[in-house]
Amino acid sequence: MSTDRRSFFTRLASAAAGLWAGTRAIAQQQQPVPAAQQPATAPSAAHQNMPGMTMPQSASGRTSTAGAVTSRATNLPVEMPDLPKLRYKLVDGVKEFNLIAEVVRTEFAPGRLVDAWGFNGSVPGPTIEVNQGDRVRVVFDNHLPEMTAVHWHGFEVPMEMDGSVGLGQDPVPPGGRFVYEFTLNQAGTFFYHSHFAMQEMMGMLGMFIMHPKEPYTPAVHRDFGIVIQEWALLANNTVPNTLSMEFNWLTFNGKSGPACTPMLVRQGERVRIRLVNLGMDHHPIHLHGNQFVVTGTEAGRKPQHLWFEENTVLVGVAQAREFEFDAKYVGDWMLHCHLPHHMMNQMASMVGPVMSSGRGLQTGAGMEAGMGIVRQGNALSEELGPSFGRGLGLAADVERLTSNLVGPQAMLDRGASGTTTMPGHDMSQMKGQAPTPTGHEGHNMPGQTDSAMDMYPKDDPEKKKIPGYPQDMWMPADAMFQKPENHGLRKGWSGAMGGMMTLVRVLPPEKYDEIMQLVQRKAQQSPEERKPAGHVLVGTVEAVSESTGKLTVKHGNVEGWMGAMTMAYPVDKPDMLKRIKAGDQIKANVYEGDFTLHDVEVMQSGK
């Protein structure tokens, strides 16, 4: 990774790249999913008719006043924002599921494409729901290029059904099939995963709900599930680095904030949220504005005298937690991991350059080294050893090279042109391989003087003399995340969301009904109707990247939608990148909520 100022901004911008460069909804990135498995983001889609379950009254269209919602105890289908459910067929009284391990191209945020491993076209895998006492058969097919198996985490099932390769069963080879079958007498929030450690970090995890024979009391009106995962992804790289000990993409149900679909709740409802975690970190999950009681763990429901109030629940690795609360207070309440680095996207060694003014705190020689990617030499070499990851400051010289933004060193390095250069780092190498916004000045969205939407850091030499500046960024992109579930959020809301962050929107009844109508209308739309408003974008090509399928375009205002900026856009037909070169004037169609260039036309060929 280059270490000049531009690359600093590239790194800053790479956080934005996930936001800015976009493509269509996840469904198009994945294998076709049967209608029954469509992501369940709304009660209308989530409430499948499963035996032993009934719809929550609040979702049936019945209007009620806040606080007056009642329901008898019943098992509700769990709503998994942004994730599908796995359907079963009943075969001689056995619930039979077909689970398929496979490579899945997914999107953590619009444009942040990831080639992970999951199940049935989904990362994490689709949620499986059964009832206590069910006989369950899982026909498991391995479509991965290597052996695997499925471990049923926490299940009390026979040894040969445990999915522990070597001990209980042989590995399932590529193309192979294994049939798991067991009777489930437990109840609670469980999960399934590959027991190969590296495959776990490629995404092979899914939630498994066992509904109790005797529904829990007090009854809840909404029952949500969230799968917690973490990933190491270099900018412009789609394959997770499973060797890394540092994680820069944090997901709830396979999405990072602000792309996580909010959980919608009518004021007065009682809400259950189930969380499972499988990764390298424990995540303290915090809910704003509400106390909750922790009612269950990975071993199921706890008796009421063991419940205790919290507003942050630590979900350790391999654990499940269930909490419940009465949604008394109207608000768009954040639910998020409270580890500071888990509230950002594409977080890498950004703090490195910032922290070292002259002799600084060692935080890694660069983004790649910090994430365990070594291009030359080895990780314990003289150059890399001391500065590897979170080192001890022994490689301050190396570190200083990465710092030309802050403090006296930055002033010294500042050339007559007002830009900084670093000896030994050829910025021209960046061309064509950095499909990210190429200048922070271009990031402003419409309403450029609007404090809700303005972004920083601005390039202000005076501020850069202040130790520690800059720390945080503000990169709202509300337009990218338009969907009914986000309807009515305060302007700039998306700037507040990153990483493991989602919302529990406790809505007054009228507003809840209004949004649910929008959600349901969208669910009923045909793909053609769902096509958002289109705009024409005209600009000059700055770089073409066939490897990422992106075109960096400097363009003017996109009438009625987006301000002028330079940014890397995916194109709908990557093949056509062969016919485009830097300098070309192009015209393309873009659609709201989708930052992909469609129908790209070369207006004038560049020299």
Nearer to Cu ion, 147 or 339 (CB): 339
Residue 179 dihedral angles phi and psi, to the nearest 5°: -110, 115
Interface segment toward Cu ion; rule CB under 5 A; list 92-100, 331-339, 345-353, 590-598: 331-339
Are 390 and 374 a contacting pair, CB within 8 Å? no
Write out the H or E segment, with its range, that includes residue 412. Answer: helix 407-413
In the complex, minimum distance from the CB of residue 337 to Cu ion, in angstroms, rounded to a whole number: 3
Q: Would you count residue 342 as binding Cu ion (CB under 5 A)?
A: yes
How is the beta sheet containing 283-287 ordered, strand by strand?
A: 263-266, 501-507, 331-337, 283-287, 312-315
Interface segment toward Cu ion; rule CB under 5 A; list 340-348, 444-452, 553-561, 584-592: 340-348
Nearer to Cu ion, 143 or 341 (CB): 341
Whole-number Å distance between alpha carbons of 66 and 508: 7
Q: Is the dihedral of CA 78, 79, 84, 90 positive or negative?
A: positive
Q: Would you count residue 344 as binding Cu ion (CB under 5 A)?
A: no
Nearer to Cu ion, 230 or 399 (CB): 230
- Residue 209, Cβ density class (10 Å: 0-12 exposed, 13-18 middle, ≥19 buried): buried
Write out the H or E segment, with its range, that includes residue 369. Answer: helix 367-370
Write out the H or E segment, with its range, that includes residue 230. Answer: strand 222-231
Nearer to Cu ion, 27 or 280 (CB): 280
Nearer to Cu ion, 280 or 582 (CB): 280
Side-chain half-sphere CA neighbours of 485 within 13 A:
22
* Window 253 to 292, contacts with Cu ion (CB under 5 A): 283
Q: How many residues bind Cu ion (CB under 5 A)?
A: 4
In the complex, minimum distance from the CB of residue 325 to Cu ion, in angstroms, rounded to a whole number: 21
Are 39 and 460 a contacting pair, CB within 8 Å? no
In the complex, minimum distance from the CB of residue 273 to Cu ion, in angstroms, rounded to a whole number: 16
Residue of 232, 436, 202, 454 whose CA lies nearest to 341: 232
Nearer to Cu ion, 278 or 543 (CB): 278
Whole-number Å distance between alpha carbons of 518 and 514: 7
Residue of 186, 269, 267, 259 whose CA lies nearest to 223: 269
Whole-number Å distance between alpha carbons of 541 and 551: 7
In the complex, minimum distance from the CB of residue 348 to Cu ion, in angstroms, rounded to a whole number: 16
Interface segment toward Cu ion; rule CB under 5 A; list 42-50, 154-162, 336-344, 541-549: 336-344
Interface segment toward Cu ion; rule CB under 5 A; list 46-54, 198-206, 333-341, 533-541: 333-341
DSSP 214: S
Which one of 40, 149, 337, 506 is in contact with Cu ion (CB under 5 A)? 337
In the complex, minimum distance from the CB of residue 339 to Cu ion, in angstroms, rounded to a whole number: 4
Residue 449 identity (one-letter amino acid) = T
Are 172 and 148 a contacting pair, CB within 8 Å? yes
Whole-number Å distance between alpha carbons of 52 and 215: 10
Which one of 339, 396, 523, 564 is in contact with Cu ion (CB under 5 A)? 339
Whole-number Å distance between alpha carbons of 553 and 278: 39
Q: Would you count residue 313 as binding Cu ion (CB under 5 A)?
A: no
Nearer to Cu ion, 78 or 337 (CB): 337
Nearer to Cu ion, 247 or 292 (CB): 247
In the complex, minimum distance from the CB of residue 276 to Cu ion, in angstroms, rounded to a whole number: 13
In the complex, minimum distance from the CB of residue 351 to Cu ion, in angstroms, rounded to a whole number: 17
Nearer to Cu ion, 230 or 594 (CB): 230
Write out the H or E segment, with its range, that includes residue 503. Answer: strand 501-507
Whole-number Å distance between alpha carbons of 360 and 362: 6
Whole-number Å distance between alpha carbons of 324 and 346: 32
Nearer to Cu ion, 144 or 344 (CB): 344
Nearer to Cu ion, 15 or 138 (CB): 15
Whole-number Å distance between alpha carbons of 295 and 271: 12
In the complex, minimum distance from the CB of residue 210 to Cu ion, in angstroms, rounded to a whole number: 26
Q: Say which residues have a Cβ less than 8 Å from residue 93's Cβ, sequence separation at least 6.
A: 135
Nearer to Cu ion, 284 or 563 (CB): 284
In the complex, minimum distance from the CB of residue 228 to Cu ion, in angstroms, rounded to a whole number: 7
In the complex, minimum distance from the CB of residue 281 to Cu ion, in angstroms, rounded to a whole number: 5
Residue of 334, 326, 286, 333 whose CA lies nearest to 310: 286
In the complex, minimum distance from the CB of residue 341 to Cu ion, in angstroms, rounded to a whole number: 8
| Token pair in block for residue 542 | 């700055």
Are 601 and 586 a contacting pair, CB within 8 Å? yes
Nearer to Cu ion, 1 or 227 (CB): 227
Instruction: Give me the residues that bind Cu ion (CB under 5 A), please.
Output: 283, 337, 339, 342
